[in-house]
Amino acid sequence: MDVISLAIVLLFVTIIVLASLEKVDKAVLALIGIILTYIVLSVSEKIGFNEIFYFIDFKVLLTIFGFMVIVEASRESGLFQFISMRTVKLSGGEPVQLFIVLCIITTIMSMFMTAMATMIIIGTLTITIARMLKIDPSPYLLAEAIIVDVGGMALPFSQIGNIIISQGVGLSLIFFVVNIIPFVAISFTFSLWYLLKNLRSKLGIVDPLRKMLILEANEWILVPDINVFKRSIFIFSGIIIGLIILPEIYLVAVGGATLFLLASGVHPDEILKRIDWATLLFFMALYIIVGAMEHKGLLHEVGVALGSITGGDIIFASIFILWIVGLLSCAVDNVAIAIAFIPIVKSMAEASGLGPLIDILWISMILGTNLGGNILPYGAPTTILAMGVSKKHGYSFSIRDFFKLGSVWGISNLALASAYILSRLYATILLQRLGLNLIHVLVFLTVGLGLISLITIHIKIGLRFFVKRTIELVKSIRISLFMQLINKVKSQISKKE
């Protein structure tokens, strides 16, 4: 490694450490990183200022920007707040049921929103409900801060790390559905059992009279404008369909963001003011610095070295990537890990002859970047955010409490991920020998699980009763929408009179 290469590596490490410690603003770090990288490359390689921007993957930045706009616009419309409150009512105010429902909502919301946005919404909702029931929200917030990462690894747009990996190597939505979502189901089941086991005694006891408060709460107060709400549902549904149909996620993200800004009724100025421009600039700087390291051949050398260590053994390579990425993510932002490890894994696969089997390495990398953050208290920004939300409203959970739960959760999930990857490898080999297709097997299993669910519902409560209650719920939502519209018309008429 020459002096120039060493300088770039030191610059990368310094910026990551300062960003993790939050000692310097990200926007300032980004500008420093871009300027210093340009100075180093211009002196050593005679590279012009405009050339360093070729290192940036603008498709990724457009995807991140698009989903930032979509999330902010959805929050403005009250869409996710409404869904959350409607679902929480199903708990009936019982602490254990409320805990389970909040964990389910957090997981589902984090599949379609960034973890930070999910934590803000669900954290505020949790504190509001806890105040109504006069219980301590800290154990609920602690569980949400951990389980939010389970849903965050499910889809290519759920987490920024996922966006970077999926766009950087061309992974489709189907890839995540087939390869990642089965593990999400395993991880969620384990996480819910583990968190409930350790936090059940701290959930509190609710006065029977206060249980009625949550049932009487009107979720429509969370919807500022019924027309904006309806348009947001329509646009968001279109975005989900677009993500399924179109492989270019960045086009769907930018198109959906544009539709929200033009047709949702939400003021574009307000949305654009809340976009995290500093984070986008920071990602740009990371791409430039990592691009400089790749330009100097450093990442290729690391990949070749790792390839020689694994020796072409796909089992060892996949488990090795899972654990090294997971453990690094507990101390370093997973965005930086994702950007740096994409070229490393590519070089590693080429050097060790694993090219055709590289998909399993991407699975390992996706799981590792999402699961490692909770091993240490400050490894994931959602933990810091949850602690901040809790403290702001007069509650708190300690670093020690989080470390006791999060470290065991992280290591356990990495162990589960190891078993999952091994089972996937052996299952793929077995299916190939039997002449079967993995997707066909998954479809068969999905249909089988669906039939088992229907039979269970029929035995426990009866299919007719289940269908009847579902229809009643849909009707109640429609009636609520209709009554809201009538009240709005009445208020407009009374104003004119």
Residue 135, SS3 per DSSP: coil
Tokens 């991880």 found at: 187
Q: Are 445 and 399 in contact (CB under 8 A)?
A: no
SS3 helix, strand, coil % of the chain, rounded to 5?
85, 0, 15
Give me the amino acid identity at 103: C
For residue 302 the two structure tokens come to 């690391």
Model pLDDT, residue 472 = 63
Q: Are 97 and 57 in contact (CB under 8 A)?
A: no
Neighbours of 243 (CB within 10 A): 20
Q: Which of 50, 102, 40, 467 is nearest to 293 (CA)?
A: 40
DSSP 150: H
CA 51, 249, 72, 179 dihedral sign is: negative
- CA distances for 437 relative to 333, 429, 430, 431, 433, angstroms: 37, 11, 10, 7, 10
Model pLDDT, residue 39 = 87
Model pLDDT, residue 194 = 92
Q: Which of 365, 303, 349 is nearest to 175 (CA)?
A: 365
For 437, list phi and psi in degrees, rounded to 5. -105, 135
Separation of alpha carbons 236 and 92, rounded Å: 29
Q: Which of 116, 103, 108, 128 is nearest to 75 (CA)?
A: 116
Give me the amino acid identity at 429: I
Separation of alpha carbons 319 and 332, rounded Å: 20
Tokens 């809340």 found at: 274
Which ranges in 113-225 belong to alpha helices (H)? 115-133, 138-152, 160-169, 173-179, 181-199, 208-216
Neighbours of 195 (CB within 10 A): 22
Q: Which of 331, 393, 412 is nearest to 141 (CA)?
A: 393
> What residue segments make up the domains of the chain, in order of their start?
3-460
Q: Are 245 and 47 in contact (CB under 8 A)?
A: no
Q: What is the DSSP string of 460-476?
A: HT-HHHHHHHHHHHHHH
Separation of alpha carbons 353 and 80, rounded Å: 46
Query: What does the pLDDT profile of the chain (497 residues) look like in tens digits?
Result: 678 778 887 887 787 777 766 677 778 888 888 888 888 888 887 787 888 888 887 887 887 788 778 777 777 777 766 766 676 677 676 788 888 888 888 888 888 777 766 776 777 677 777 777 777 888 888 888 888 889 888 888 888 788 888 888 888 888 888 889 989 999 999 999 999 888 888 887 776 766 676 667 677 777 777 777 778 788 878 877 887 777 677 888 888 888 888 876 777 887 888 777 887 887 788 888 878 877 777 767 776 777 677 666 778 888 888 998 888 877 666 777 787 788 888 877 776 666 666 788 889 889 988 888 777 765 666 666 666 666 666 666 666 777 788 888 989 999 999 999 988 887 766 766 666 665 556 666 666 766 776 777 667 666 676 666 666 655 555 555 445 545 554 565 555 55
Separation of alpha carbons 75 and 122, rounded Å: 11
Q: Are 299 and 340 in contact (CB under 8 A)?
A: yes
For residue 474 the two structure tokens come to 């849909």
Separation of alpha carbons 96 and 156, rounded Å: 32
Separation of alpha carbons 256 and 262, rounded Å: 10
In sequence order, which residues have a C-beta less than 8 Å from that of residue 316 and are 6 or more positions away? 310
Give me the amino acid identity at 402: F
